[in-house]
Amino acid sequence: MRSFFACFLIVAGCVACTPEVNQPLDKVSCQINKPCNYSDGISISLGSESVEPETPFTIILKAPKNQIVHQAKLEGVDMYMGTIPVFFTEQSTGVWQAQVMVGACSLSLMQWRLMVQLAPTAAGEQNSVAGNREIFYSIYVSRHS
């Protein structure tokens, strides 16, 4: 019984620490590795449409000036390759950029999912979930033989 209670507390603590995303995921249809436009002036693009494993590439995110990148990560879709944290830096107001590199796998074409959590910048609102958003973007990495 004690171990059940301990497990319950651990799971509850993990769930309580996960930031909520209030606004639903944008439903958009984007072409492979092309710029993708979401609602509210948010867009994601790559520095190059051709992405290869073990080669750095650039991700560019444009967001309204009242939004900041709270957290971002890449995860393999076709094959589990772990989670890669993505660190965006603001280049100019509302323009964020990250340099990323993904590992090679046995597939000739591997799909990765970029998950970006945006949060409001206004003082006092960062602890609120009212303006939080989560955006997904697929990146296809091809291995040339």
Residue type, 38: Y
Q: Are 67 and 95 in contact (CB under 8 A)?
A: no
Q: Are 112 and 78 in contact (CB under 8 A)?
A: no
pLDDT for res 125: 53
Q: Are 78 and 110 in contact (CB under 8 A)?
A: yes
- For residue 106, CA distances in Å to 32, 33, 78, 79, 113 come to 20, 20, 11, 9, 18
Domains with residue ranges and CATH for the chain:
22-142 (2.60.40.10)
Q: What is the pLDDT of residues 106-140, one digit of tens each?
A: 899 999 999 999 999 865 454 545 578 999 999 99
Cα–Cα distance, 108 to 129 (Å, whole number) = 40
For the chain, the maximum distance between any two Cα atoms, rounded to a whole number of angstroms, is: 56
pLDDT for res 98: 98
**Is the pTM here over 0.85, yes or no?**
no
pLDDT for res 144: 72
Q: Which residue numbers in the chain have pLDDT < 70?
A: 1-28, 122-130, 145
